[in-house]
Amino acid sequence: MNRVFRVLGVALMLAAAGCQPAGQVVGGQVKLAPTDSAAFLDRIAARTSVTESDAVAGILLMLDRQEETTFAEAVAKLAEDRIISSSWNLQADRAITKGKLAYMVYQACRLKGGLTVSLWGPSQRYCLKELQYRGLMTPGVPYNAVTGLEYVAVLSRADELRQTGTVSRVMSPGEGVR
């Protein structure tokens, strides 16, 4: 009898994993105007933490998709492209976490992960582990806030990876990482 309950429990957990609730966007009316990349990165680098709206603006900048839009519209576009999970609750003025940033960069760069990501799909935790392994992000846990300098470094590395397929030795500990 216990075995039946365990099998049913596992089946329910697997079914629930596919049914994620829709996320909410707070501060969706915040404008994300096109910006000069150098000025944007300079402004962000000086911050102790990066907001979710600035993180979204930086991802759009990296993807060369800069147009005047609101935070909510940008989130909707990125969710449609599966760069942002549609189940996330986002807040324009809240600090972005390493996990959310890792997920966005992983998806934007169209990376292919290891066995866990292949079986279960990308998650903040496993995307962070993958980016740390590839030398794109520094050690830490998914719920840590991202500093401005760290964000600029991650965005630079991700852009280099998207353009060249590797991360240079200057930016990563070993030879170019694929």
Tokens of 22: 């829709």
Spell out the alpha helix ranges (H) of the chain.
Answer: 2-17, 37-45, 52-62, 71-80, 98-108, 115-120, 124-133, 148-164
Question: Does residue 62 belong to any structural domain of this protein?
Answer: yes
Distance CA 135, CA 139 (A): 10
Question: Does residue 176 belong to any structural domain of this protein?
Answer: no
Question: Does residue 124 belong to any structural domain of this protein?
Answer: yes
What is the domain count for the chain?
Answer: 1
Question: Does residue 82 belong to any structural domain of this protein?
Answer: yes
- Higher-pLDDT residue of 136 and 117 is 136
Question: Does residue 8 belong to any structural domain of this protein?
Answer: no
What is the mean pLDDT of the segment spanning 85-94?
92
pLDDT at 5 over 80: no
Question: Does residue 88 belong to any structural domain of this protein?
Answer: yes
Q: What is the pLDDT of residue 79?
A: 94
What is the mean pLDDT of the segment spanning 89-112?
95
For tokens 């966007």, name the residue. Answer: 25
Q: What is the pLDDT of residue 34?
A: 61
Question: Does residue 132 belong to any structural domain of this protein?
Answer: yes
Full-model pTM: 0.79
15-34 confidence digits (pLDDT tens):
444 444 567 777 667 777 66
The three-state secondary structure class of 157 is helix
Q: What is the pLDDT of residue 7?
A: 41
Q: What is the pLDDT of residue 115?
A: 81
Residue 106 domain boundaries: 22-164
pLDDT at 11 over 70: no
Question: Does residue 151 belong to any structural domain of this protein?
Answer: yes
Q: What is the pLDDT of residue 1?
A: 52
125-134 confidence digits (pLDDT tens):
999 999 998 8
Q: What is the pLDDT of residue 22?
A: 61
